[in-house]
Amino acid sequence: MNLNMTFFGQILSFVILVWFTMKFIWPPLNAAIEERQKKIAEGLAAADRSQKDLAQAQEKVNEALKDARVKANEIIDQAHARASQIIEAAKDEAVAEANRQKALAQADIDASASRAREELRKQVSTLAVAGAEQLIKREIDANAHKALLDDLAAQL
């Protein structure tokens, strides 16, 4: 093999090209590649964090829904209890009103019975006077014997 100057020139140019590439082109290119790798790694880490955050948020949402359901059931139970209390109070009030109306009606009946008895006593005393008048065949003065007639009516 014949080594000549062209070969040495090519070797020298190749060495200069390799040195120039290693000195000026390779560091920025390597920095760009490392920066891109870093961005990709950060993106993957951010995606993992966002997935974890999403899972935590989903757990919080599920827990909040569970709490909301529990609270809703408590509110419904309280509403049912309050409705029962209102119904019981209304029943008690209705019973009290019925008893009051019954007492008023009983008092009215008692008053009517007293009036009827008094009226009956007056009628009996009038009939007694009329009967006695017919027996005695003379007229008895009802005003003169009022005390006697009242006593007779009270005995009836």
The total of structural domains in the chain comes to 1
Q: Whole-angstrom Cα distance, residue 153 to residue 117?
A: 10
Nearest to 151 by CA among 126, 125, 127, 130: 125
Using CA atoms of 51, 55, 56, 61 in order, give the dihedral in degrees to the nearest 10. Answer: 130
In a domain, 43, yes or no: yes
Model pLDDT, residue 152: 66
The structure's pTM equals: 0.44
1 falls within a domain: no
**Is residue 133 one of the residues assigned to a domain?**
yes
Q: Is residue 129 part of a domain?
A: yes
Contact 124, 151 (CB under 8 A): no
Residue 92 belongs to some domain of the structure: yes
| Structural domain contains residue 98 | yes
Which residues does 149 contact at the CB level (< 8 Å), separation at least 6?
A: 125, 128, 129, 142
Q: Residue range 53-59: average pLDDT?
A: 95
Domain region containing 104:
11-155
**Does any domain span residue 41?**
yes
> Is 19 contained in some domain?
yes
In this structure, of 25-29, 86-90, 126-130, the range with the lowest mean pLDDT score is 126-130
Q: What is the mean pLDDT of residues 77-100?
A: 95
Please give the DSSP secondary-structure letter assigned to residue 140: -
DSSP string for 4-27: -HHHHHHHHHHHHHHHHIIIIIHH
